Amino acid sequence: MDDTAWVCKTHSPWIMPEQPIFYANKMICIVRNPLDTFISWLNLVAQCNHNAKAPFDYEVTYPNYWDWWIHDIVPLFKRWIKVLMDDARLNSVPTLWIRYEDLVSDPETQLMNMMRFLVGRRDLAGTNAERRVKEQIAKGANAIKTYDLKEGTLKFNSSGKRYTEEQTAYITEELKDCLYYFGYVKTKDDPDNFTGFFKYEEDSPEYLRQHKGYEAHRERTIDWVESMTDAELAKI
């Protein structure tokens, strides 16, 4: 990858063997409710493509395998997201978090945020970036669909019913940091949160402080990128 490529898709921080190394000075990371992510991930592994799903329910037909999958995948996800969150929080690299749920429910705002981040300008009024976003939104969602969507793709927490109480409790405890940070918890201060798929008996002040922290981080990062010169970005 050289300077002719503006955006590169990666599985960072996972690097496959023999994959060429390239450098980037900004990162966009799309996150989604883990309860939906884990079944999507399993379908990808099992079906080897993005638009197919198993002709049966894993949790019904193969409950032992499904339980193994949950307990195997959660530590891997926890480690992966921790690396990205630590890099973002420490400003190791300018990182823009975009939640899948926000992208579905309010695509124009999220695409504008993405453009603000990419071009390093808070105000996009009258720019080509603003025009491109509005043109894309006017085409509708089907204009940018690259493959057939699976049932439940545009729904939120559609896979929550697959998990047993024990499995849900395990995920809730193990992923507490990212669940609060990305706003997947229904808290006493935000009872109408439409992505509050998880709930704790008591919200500790430590975690309440970082509830939906990705939003504040986005604004700080856009301000940071806007203030940086090309030479400063190149040093990252």
pLDDT at 199 over 60: yes
Q: What is the CA radius of gyration of the chain?
A: 19
Query: What are the structure tokens assigned to 182, written together?
Result: 């990305």
Average pLDDT over residues 176-182: 97
pLDDT at 147 over 90: no
pLDDT at 150 over 90: no
Q: Among 8-22, 118-132, 179-193, where is mean pLDDT lowest? A: 8-22
Q: What is the pLDDT of residues 27-79, one digit of tens each?
A: 999 999 999 999 999 999 999 888 888 999 999 999 999 999 999 999 999 99
Please answer whether residues 59 and 70 qualify as being in contact, where contact means their C-beta atoms are separated by less than 8 angstroms.
Answer: no
Q: Of 105, 85, 111, which is closest to residue 195 (Cα–Cα)? A: 105
